[in-house]
Every structure is written in C-alpha cells, then in structure tokens.
Amino acid sequence: MHTDARTLDNGTVLEGDLCIVGAGASGITIAREFANTLLKVLLLEGGGFEFEQKLQDLYRGEIVGQPYFPLQAAALHYFGGTTNHWAGFCSTFDPIDFEKRDWVPHSGWPITRNDLDPFYARAHQVLELGPYKYDAADWKQNDPERVPLLGDSRVVSTKMWQFSPPTRFGTKYRDEIVKSPNIHLYTYANVVEVEANEGLSAVQSVRIRTFEGKEYRARAKRFILCCHSIQNARLLLASNRQAKTGLGNSNDLVGRYFMEHFEMPAGELALAKPESTGTKLYAMNGLGGPPRGELALTAAVQKENRILHGTASVEAGNYGDEVKSTFQFIDTVMMNAQRAWLKGGKKGPPPIAKALAATAPRTQGPQRFYHLTTRQEQAPNPDSRVTLSTERDALGVPRARLDWRVTELDKRSIRTFYQLLGREMGRTDTGRVQIRDWLLSDDLTWPSFISGGWHHMGTARMHTDPKQGVVDSDCRVHGLANLYIGGAAVYPTAGAVNPTLTLVALSLRLADHLKG
Ligand SMILES: Cc1cc2nc3c(=O)[nH]c(=O)nc-3n(C[C@H](O)[C@H](O)[C@H](O)COP(=O)(O)OP(=O)(O)OC[C@H]3O[C@@H](n4cnc5c(N)ncnc54)[C@H](O)[C@@H]3O)c2cc1C
C-alpha cells in the first residue's frame, strides 16, 4: 500500500510492528523480506518516486577536512535511494577484511566471512547477479582467453567482480512493495527525530515532518534506520532533545570512523609479451557486462607488508592518455546527464557507458598498454567523522558536516601495492609497471584531489563492546532495545570492494534476525 504523507492530517499517529526509515538498497531489501507476512511494516521514505531538487537539497551539507563530493550529489534522496544512479559493480569482502589486523587500528568485525556467505548468495538474487562464484578459475572455464595474469603467483591474485544490470531498486521493486498488503509505504515522509522512552532504553516513535508544515509520528515495536551512512549518523545526532549528544551516542561514537574507498589512477602497465599474455579477463564491457577481474595482493602478502587491502583495475588504454579519477570523471555533470537519460526514455548508450567507451584503446594489434586504477580501503579513523552543522535544512534539521580524513597508512599501502605488483610483473617478465609520481614522493604527500568511490561507510560501526561500536553484531544500537541500523554505516572496516553487495547481505541477515 502506498500513501503520500503530505495528504495525512496533521498530528496523525501511524502504528506498525516494524518501522523502516529510508527506502533505498537496505530499506527495500528488508521490507521485501516481510512482504505478505502478518507483520504490519511501515516504510517511511523522505522523497517521492522521482528526483526533486527541493527534497535533494535536504542532503546538502558542509565539507571540512579533505575536499569531497558535494553531499547533495553523493547520494540520492527519493524512493530507491542511491541505487537510482549506482553503477552495479559488485564483489565480496575477503576473509581477511573481517579479521583483526594488528597493523590496522580499530580493525576486526564481530562476524566472519563464513557468517555472511549464505546472505551473499541471497543478495545475488536481489541484485540480479550471476552465480555466487568469485574464483577466477570459475569464470575461466567458459572462455580460455580469460586467463588470470600471474595465475600461480603467491604475491598477486585476481579479484573477481560481477555486474548488476544495475538493479534500480526504485523501479524494480516498486510494484511489489506497493501491492504488498502489509507493507505501508509513505512517501514524502521525512523523519526528523527518533524519540526514545523516558529511560532512554528503547525507541517509542519517530517524528515526521513535511514541507507543508505538517507533523506526524510513527510508532512500532522495532525501528530500523536505513537512510545511508551520512544521513543515519545525522539523524541520530540530531535526535538530541532527550539525549544531549544524540541518541545511541553515549560513547561519542556516532558519526566517527567515516570511510571511503580510494579510487584513483595510480600506475600504468605495459605487457612484455602482449601476444601471449593478452587476456580478456580484466576487460570492462559496459555496465551490466560479464564478470571481470582486478589485480590484488594475496592475504599473506598484505600481512607480511602490514598494508591495507586494495585492488587495481586494468583498463586498456594508450600511452599518454589523460586518465581521470572517479572524482573528476563521474562528477555532478555526469550524474545530471545520467538522470536526463533515465528520464528521457534511455535513448542511446548511458552517459557513463559512453564515457567508458571514449577511453577504449585506439591502437591496432594486441593490446599492450593498460592504466591501473586503485581501489583501496582506508583505515578506520575516529577523527574522520560526520557531525552537525550550525546551518539547518528546510525542515529545521541541522545539516551534516563531513570531516573526511586520511592517514599515512592509507597512502603507504597504495604505494606498497604498486611496488609489489611491479616487482612481480618484472620478476616473471609479464610486464612493467610505472608508478605515478604522487605515490613515490618521500613525504607521502597526496595529490590536490583524493578521489573516493561515492561509498560512505562506518558512521555507526559494529562492535560487541559499546565503548568501541555503535551497534552490536545484530546491527542493534547498543543501549536501545529496539533500534537497528541497516546499511554500510555499520562496517568496522571498508574492505577493498564496493559496498552494496555486502550491505544487502547484511540487510538480509538483519531481516532474518528480526524474523527470529
Ligand atoms: C555515482 C555512484 C555510483 C555508485 N556505484 C556503486 C557501485 O558500482 N557498486 C556499489 O556497490 N555501490 C555503488 N554506489 C553506492 C551505492 O549506491 C550505495 O552503497 C547504496 O545505494 C547504499 O544503500 P542504502 O540503502 O544504505 O542507501 P540509499 O540507497 O541511499 O537509500 C537511503 C534511502 O533513505 C532515504 N532517506 C534518507 N534520509 C531520510 C529521512 N530522514 N527520512 C526518510 N527517508 C530518508 C533516502 O531518500 C533513500 O531512499 C554508488 C554510488 C554513487 C553515488
């Protein structure tokens, strides 16, 4: 069932068993798990079914610290959330990503890769991916030309990726949600406060406000915040009438440990014998294309060198190309073009695919030259954080203030990655790696831009100890009996790969926990 919240009477109180705030990848995944059950699910979405500038402006925020994408361009505020323009790159976190690594402060999840495996397999269906297989050998079987580079190396491995069409949750799952008799979807229902009981031990209601000045409440037995990492933190921090520092924040952890993935051009690869080593395994064939590999360092080598986890995408190119970072490449202009393309009936190739095609090699004969683009986790850092700005949005909620920080370990890890990759390529005479100047500078200074992947993680991290994490291993906020967080905000560390497959898996796990 669907209701436009603007049509409700002022002061209405909605009642349900489960209240999900935010209808993006996480919120829609959890809601679908309860479709056609006896539970009454309230799904509160701040936006409508289409992009609207006025609503999107609620995401505008302040950037201090490292320069970052404008917050109103880095996530989308309408039904379907940021999946309305995600690119669909999916891969799994590796076992090492969940481990406590003594060289990575604050690392270690309270769950393992094995715990997530069954949920990853289910998440594949949600995201319309292929078989749940990530071993390069699995994908080589169909095509002998898809042979991994450095296949038997103990240093370098191939990390496989799969591509969602990409699934746009807002269009793919809209009918299912709206037709489900027990899911009550409210659009234009912006939650502006989470309200607890007197003892601050459980949530009683959430307060909703519209641009028309109406206010409602939603009451339920359990609440799940699925507003994306920055907005989840903002909402908890702004719920500060009863708890001065914000709800769930008695240990000053909400908003801290904000993490991104570094996605930056960092080197070039020239194959020594393109005739024998040319392989299509790493080729990108547009959005939604077949699986492909990226180069990575094995877990053993990460441990020996005490570095973070990263991969390098191998993009066919030409010597002397100007290679752009994601920061420069998918900028606001590109996103506006993408949106116009979606609205205009998808005529011609999508703008992102067009841009990728423009980078395709122009030379004849075996491909010799490749650009290497880093994709690396950043170390969790309590000083990298979301707080509240002094400026308020049109609904009276303080805007988010992002202070993104990077560390020496982050850059040293990228540099070591390329040095080890280069040595291994040279030792085996597979090819030669040229490392970009900015990575080699002695003082470990960064270039003027540091490009992220539009991935927001870690503002409500998971830890069994309330002094070290906002949520427990079930994604329940410590100290609040019935409040849960859905999405990448709960990641204690970011892994090397894009976040959505893992956050959908975690959302399915949370839904199963709540069913229990
Ligand atoms: C350009 C771009 C490309 C990307 N490409 C990839 C990729 O290739 N692979 C990948 O894994 N990830 C990618 N991502 C990231 C991916 O989109 C996110 O990881 C994913 O959408 C996050 O899911 P979520 O449910 O946490 O948040 P969202 O999908 O953003 O959903 C949050 C929902 O909450 C609603 N909401 C927010 N605040 C409130 C409130 N106060 N009250 C009510 N509702 C509220 C929003 O309107 C929204 O619908 C990309 C992101 C961008 C920007």
Confidence at residue 325, expressed as pLDDT on a 0 to 100 scale: 56
**pTM score, whole prediction:** 0.94
CA distance 214 to 88: 37
Residue 305 near residue 371 (C-beta atoms within 8 A): no
Counting every residue written for the chain, the total comes to 516
Amino acid occupying residue 43: L
CA geometry: angle 297, 303, 304, nearest 5 deg: 95
Confidence at residue 143, expressed as pLDDT on a 0 to 100 scale: 75
Residue nearest to atom 4 of ligand 1 (CA): 86
Torsion of CA 477, 479, 480, 482, to 10 degrees: 70
Provide the 8-state DSSP code for 9: P
DSSP string covering 469-482, please? Answer: -SB-TTSBBTT-TT
User: Ligand 1 test: best mutation among 228, 341, 342, most atoms within 8 Å of CB?
Assistant: 228
Strand, helix or coil for residue 388 = strand
Q: Which residues line ligand 1 (CB under 6 A)?
A: 21-27, 44-47, 74-75, 77-78, 81-83, 85-90, 190-191, 226-228, 231, 235, 330, 454-455, 487-488, 498-500, 503
Q: Kindly give the distance from the C-alpha atom of residue 269 to the centroid of ligand 1, in angstroms, as a whole number.
A: 34
Q: Kindly give the distance from the C-alpha atom of residue 166 to the centroid of ligand 1, in angstroms, as a whole number.
A: 13
Strand, helix or coil for residue 425 = helix
pLDDT digits (tens, 9 = 90+) for 203-252: 999 999 999 999 999 999 999 999 999 999 999 999 999 999 999 999 99
Helix residue ranges, H only, 314-362? 326-329, 332-343, 351-358
- Beta partners for residue 62, in sequence order: 401
Which ligand 1 atom is nearest residue 55's CA?
47
CA geometry: angle 150, 152, 158, nearest 5 deg: 55
Q: Kindly give the distance from the C-alpha atom of residue 23 to the centroid of ligand 1, in angstroms, as a whole number.
A: 9
Residue 318 near residue 362 (C-beta atoms within 8 A): yes
CA distance 5 to 287: 35
Q: What is the mean pLDDT of the chain?
A: 91
- Residue 474, both tokens: 């079930």
Q: Kindly give the distance from the C-alpha atom of residue 436 to the centroid of ligand 1, in angstroms, as a whole number.
A: 32
DSSP string covering 223-269, please? Answer: EEE-S-HHHHHHHHHH--SSSTT-TT-TTS-TT-S-B-EEEEEEEEE
Structural element, H or E, at residue 95? helix 95-98
Strand, helix or coil for residue 341 = helix
- Residue 304, both tokens: 């020996």
Residue nearest to atom 35 of ligand 1 (CA): 22
User: Ligand 1 test: best mutation among 69, 77, 82, most atoms within 8 Å of CB?
Assistant: 82
Q: Kindly give the distance from the C-alpha atom of residue 448 to the centroid of ligand 1, in angstroms, as a whole number.
A: 27
Residue nearest to atom 26 of ligand 1 (CA): 228
What lies within 8 Å, CB to CB, of 425 at 6+ separation is: 150, 269, 431, 432, 433
Confidence at residue 295, expressed as pLDDT on a 0 to 100 scale: 96
Give me the tens of pLDDT residue by residue for the chain, a chain 516 residues long.
999 999 999 999 999 999 999 999 999 999 999 999 999 999 999 999 999 999 999 999 999 988 999 999 999 999 999 999 899 999 999 999 999 999 999 999 999 999 999 999 999 999 999 999 999 888 776 676 788 888 889 999 999 999 999 999 999 999 999 999 999 999 999 999 999 999 999 999 999 999 999 999 999 999 999 999 999 999 999 999 999 999 999 999 999 999 999 998 899 999 988 777 778 888 877 777 889 999 999 999 999 999 999 999 998 887 666 665 555 555 555 556 666 766 777 666 566 556 555 555 555 667 888 999 999 999 999 999 999 999 999 999 999 999 999 999 999 999 999 999 999 999 999 999 999 888 887 766 787 778 899 999 999 999 999 999 999 999 999 999 999 999 999 999 999 999 999 999 999 999 999 999
Can the peptide bond before residue 166 be classed as cis, meaning omega within 30 degrees of 0?
A: yes
Residue nearest to atom 46 of ligand 1 (CA): 77
Q: Kindly give the distance from the C-alpha atom of residue 496 to the centroid of ligand 1, in angstroms, as a whole number.
A: 18
Q: Kindly give the distance from the C-alpha atom of residue 76 to the centroid of ligand 1, in angstroms, as a whole number.
A: 6
Q: Kindly give the distance from the C-alpha atom of residue 456 to the centroid of ligand 1, in angstroms, as a whole number.
A: 9
pLDDT digits (tens, 9 = 90+) for 265-294: 899 999 988 777 778 888 877 777 889 999
Residue 238 near residue 193 (C-beta atoms within 8 A): yes
Which ligand 1 atom is nearest residue 74's CA?
53
Q: Kindly give the distance from the C-alpha atom of residue 90 to the centroid of ligand 1, in angstroms, as a whole number.
A: 14
Q: Kindly give the distance from the C-alpha atom of residue 498 to the centroid of ligand 1, in angstroms, as a whole number.
A: 12
User: Ligand 1 test: best mutation among 54, 55, 500, 502, most atoms within 8 Å of CB?
Assistant: 500
Confidence at residue 147, expressed as pLDDT on a 0 to 100 scale: 84
CA distance 263 to 62: 22
